[in-house]
Amino acid sequence: MCRFTYICNMKNLGLLEKIIVVFLTLTVIFGLFMYYTNAEFFATLVAEDNFYENLTSLFLFLTSFTLFYKFFKYQKYYGITWKIGVLLMAVAMFFGGGEEISWGQRIFNVESSDFFLNNNAQQETNLHNMVVGDVKLNKLIFSNIMSICFGIYFLVLPPLWTKVSSLKSLIDSFGISVARNIHLILFIAATILILGLVDHDRKWEMWEYVFALIMFLIVWNPRNSKEIFSEK
C-alpha cells in the first residue's frame, strides 16, 4: 500500500502527463523564486505576450484541439447531450486561448477597430477587457463569476461524481471531464502558493497558466475517461 498520495497518483500517469506535471511544478517554483530574487525579471515573465501568458494560450488551444479530436473520434458512440457538452467545452477553451493573446493582434500587428479603442480598457481586440458603462467585464465575468465556476469544477464536481450516482450519470451524459486527485492536488497547491506568496498586479497570469496546464491534463486523461471517451 502506497503511503504518499502525491507519489501514488503520479505513478498512475502516462509519460506525457508526468512530463507536464514536472514542467508545471518547476515553472511555478521558478516564478516564485524570481519574484523574491529578481522582481524586474518576474515582471517580464508575467507581462503581456511573455512566458506565462503565451504558455497559457498554448495549453488552452491544446486542450481545445484535444477535445475536438476526441469529439470526432467518439461522437458516434454517444448521444446529443454528450456532443453538446464536449463541443461547448472545446469552443470555450479555444475562446480562452484566443482571448489570452487578443486573437493574435499583437503577433500580426493588427490595429484595433474604433469600437475596441473606445470600449476596451486596454484598447485591444478581445472581450474580456471590455467596459460596459462603468462595469469591467474582466472583473465581473472573468474574475468573479468564473472563479465561482472554477471552484465548483475543481472542488465540488469530483466528489459529487464519485459519491452521487445520479449526478455521476448526468455529468457523464454531457461528456464533462472530471479531475483526478493529482489534478486537484496540483490546482490547490499552486493556487495557495501563487495567491498567498505573490503580491503583484499580474500574479493572475501565473494562476491562469496553472489552470491551462491542469485543464489539458484533465481533458487528456480525466477521472471518468472510460465513461465519456471510449468505444461503447
Spell out the domain ranges in the chain: 13-228
Backbone angles phi, psi at 125, to 5 degrees: -90, 80
The pLDDT value given to residue 9: 66
What value does the CA radius of gyration of the chain take, rounded to a whole number of Å? 19
The pLDDT value given to residue 7: 56
The pLDDT value given to residue 90: 97
Backbone angles phi, psi at 129, to 5 degrees: -105, 15
The pLDDT value given to residue 85: 97
The pLDDT value given to residue 2: 54
The pLDDT value given to residue 143: 57
The pLDDT value given to residue 78: 97
Provide the CB-side half-sphere exposure for 172 (13 A, CA). Answer: 19
The pLDDT value given to residue 8: 55
The pLDDT value given to residue 6: 56
136 forms beta bridges with: 131
Per-residue pLDDT of the chain (232 residues; tens, 9 = 90+): 455 555 556 677 899 999 999 999 999 999 999 999 999 999 999 998 899 999 999 999 999 999 999 999 999 999 999 999 999 999 999 988 988 887 777 777 777 777 777 777 666 776 666 777 666 666 555 556 677 888 899 999 999 999 999 999 999 999 999 999 999 999 999 999 999 999 999 998 999 999 999 999 999 999 999 999 998 7
Nearest to 205 by CA among 16, 35, 18: 35
Instruction: Supply angle C-alpha 219, 6, 65, rounded to 5.
Output: 15
Cβ atoms 177, 214 nearer than 8 A: no
